[in-house]
Amino acid sequence: MKPIRVGLLGLGVVGGGTIEVLRRNREEIARRAGREIVITHATAKNLQKPRGFSLAGISLVADANDLVTHPEIDIVCELVGGDTVTKDLVLKAIANGKHVVTANKALLAIHGTEIFAAAQQHHVMVAFEAAVAGGVPIIKVLREGLSANKIEWIAGIINGTSNFILSEMRSRGAGFESILKEAQTLGYAEADPTFDIEGIDAAHKLTLLSAIAFGTPVQFNKAYTEGISKLTDKDIKYAEQLGYRIKLLGITRWTSAGIELRVHPTLIPEKRLIANVEGVMNAVLVKGDAVGATLYSGRGAGSEATASAVIADLVDVTRMLTSDPEHRVPHLAFQPDQLRDTPILPIEKVETAYYLRLSAFDKPGVMADVTRILADSHISIDAMLQKEAEEGEDIVDVIILTHRCVEEGANAAIKRIESLATMAAKVIRIRLEELN
């Protein structure tokens, strides 16, 4: 049978991994796909750049527009990144009847609704397993494996850079800045790490997971995002003393009022499996009404881990090429005419528990004032820990764990606590999820 011909946009780390894995496992992949998959054309910003992999048998194309319209290409594999020029190239490929495989979470989180609609119109597929959690097949799990379930919530460690930083801060008692510099030296963090440490990368991925789980259009602009750059080793240590670990979590949950879509540092009980996922590893916990909680973990980045997901998509597209377009697995798991524009809840309406750290002057009546304010806001206390003052100091740290409450109520209470004359600093607030 005639091979499937792939045009590759991007010859970076993932592009090289895709070429090498496809070449190394060529026969095994062909046995699974039913026919051979061959990269016949490729392009990159700098075609003269030396690379650590062979481009033998691949025709290099100077202009990416020529590649996405090339008559001999069946699938365009987009591994460039970005969401402007790349969007135009992907839409042009779709308009020319090409199927698309992409690892570009930002592109789909921002423009996914338009891209999926174009693909539906032109009867082509857009596959994006590699866009979330690298080699962990979480997209296929949600779209197919758990299709019998009503998904209740998803909580994921979906950014390896942030997870590495938090793991090292906890295990070594080091500060954020020093571990960030180490992550940059090791190649885990970019020179400009903003997307990773401020939760933007995780929010791109969570937006896709949420849309698939709940059958909604992608709505990245409504995601709440809070990063890890302001976390201190002190709070990580206190959390551990209370039996918790802090992770940057992406959380999406269906409620009767709307869908939660949020990324932020989160306390998780240390006994949960996901709390023990360390280093650059990713993990996604999915709660379905029938199956219960299921956990998926593995390498979330790297040339061959991501290539594994890219090639799995190439295999899927190859298998489905001759199928009726109306009966393929929908891009967002639900049939296009069955998507619902369910509202995304603003963070003020989200209900969760909290870790609060108060820096208070060591005077009588302080805790009576604090507990009264919390009671006035209908916030009950689950646990409390008061630390000894440093020698020669009259300021103590008080840590309070609350039961679940609506965030706008917690905000009002925190504002009142901060106005007390006995408070020496702003209240440190970190959300807490039991994930049970």
Active-site residue set? 205
- Chain centre distance of CA 377: 33
* Nearby residues of 218 by Cβ (< 8 Å), 6 or more positions away: 108, 109, 110, 112, 113, 207, 208, 211, 332
Whole-angstrom Cα distance, residue 156 to residue 326? 32
Q: How many CB atoms lie within 10 A of CB 26?
A: 13
Whole-angstrom Cα distance, residue 312 to residue 128? 10
Three-point CA angle 284, 224, 202, nearest 5°: 35
Q: How far is CA 116 from CA 137, 239, 319, 336, in A?
A: 20, 42, 20, 9
- Of residues 253, 282, 252, 249, the one with CA closest to residue 268: 249
* Own/partner long-range contacts of 372-376 (Cβ < 8 Å, ≥24 apart): 373/413, 373/416, 373/417, 374/400, 374/402, 374/413, 376/413, 376/416
Residue found by looking up tokens 């709390």 in the block? 275
